[in-house]
Amino acid sequence: SQTIHQWPATLVQPVGSPLSLECTVEGTSNPNLYWYRQAAGRGLQLLFYSVGIGQISSEVPQNLSASRPQDRQFILSSKKLLLSDSGFYLCAWSARVGVSNQPQHFGYGTRLSIL
Amino acid sequence: GENVEQHPSTLSVQEGDSAVIKCTYSDSASNYFPWYKQELGKRPQLIIDIRSNVGEKKDQRIAVTLNKTAKHFSLHITETQPEDSAVYFCAASSLTGTASKLTFGTGTRLQVTL
């Protein structure tokens, strides 16, 4: 069965520091991968998605970037964090089955606090 | 782009009663509509989904209905139990190439009281 790993679970960072969050998926190949952010008490906002190695699409202009160096690895980064980057970051994956929508499954998330 | 509105934002029901959450979407190209349940501090978990070629889908106490013409879909939970208490999110998805882009509603906090 497929599993998705996301770390760290919690992170406290000072303003202006760099960020690297990692997500890996097991038990599947060639997945679609997604990064979402959830502000406290709010809905989920899609930040980036990837359909393959090195292929990144950005949904919202911001202080963050994403990379996909391997098929099942997705990384969210920032060079200099802002206070507004605080939130709950969730990685998700879906299978790629032709041209049809597939369910997205979320990792356990990283709770990021910026001080 | 897609816009999903969700109502109500909070819902309190007594145990055993039914709960209904409604969502509307704007993009007629959207063709996949999942519902997620998120317990406090945890990750969203898919509970049911429906595709645009289907009008209704059931899974035990949970059902989802879709009206493509009116662009709205609803989640129905019957015989609610305390463990149903959580935040529920609807979403609408259209394909961009081979990627499924989800636009989420703002969530409904369901409280099931004894």
Cβ–Cβ gap B34/A104 under 8 Å = yes
The pLDDT value recorded for residue A99 is: 67
Chain centroid, CA A6 distance in Å: 9
Listing DSSP states for A21-89 in one string gives EEEEEES-SS-EEEEEEE-TTS-EEEEEEEEETTEEEESS-SS-EEEEEETTEEEEEESS--GGG-EEE
Query: In the predicted model, what is the mean pLDDT of residues B46-53?
Result: 93
Cβ–Cβ gap A43/B45 under 8 Å = no
Cβ–Cβ gap B96/A59 under 8 Å = no
Q: How confident is the model at residue B96 (pLDDT cuts 50, 70, 90)?
A: confident
Cβ–Cβ gap A109/B43 under 8 Å = yes
The pLDDT value recorded for residue B54 is: 86
Chain pair A-B, CB pairs under 8 angstroms: 60
B105 and chain A in contact, CB less than 8 A: yes
Peptide bond preceding A8 in cis form (omega within 30 of 0): yes
pLDDT value at B105 more than 80:
yes
Torsions phi, psi for B92 (to 5 deg): -125, 145
B2 and chain A in contact, CB less than 8 A: no
pLDDT single digits (tens) A62-88: 889 999 999 999 999 999 999 999 999
The pLDDT value recorded for residue B16 is: 97
Residue of A nearest to B97 (CA): A99
**Torsion region of B48: left, alpha or beta (phi above 0 gives left; psi -120 to 50 gives alpha):** beta
Which residues contact residue B77 at a Cβ distance below 8 angstroms, ignoring those fewer than 6 apart?
A: B18, B19, B20, B61, B62, B84, B110
**Residue of A32, A101, A102 for testing the chain B interface, max B β-carbons within 10 Å:** A101
Q: How confident is the model at residue B46 (pLDDT cuts 50, 70, 90)?
A: very high
CB nearest B99 (choices: A51, A107, A109): A51
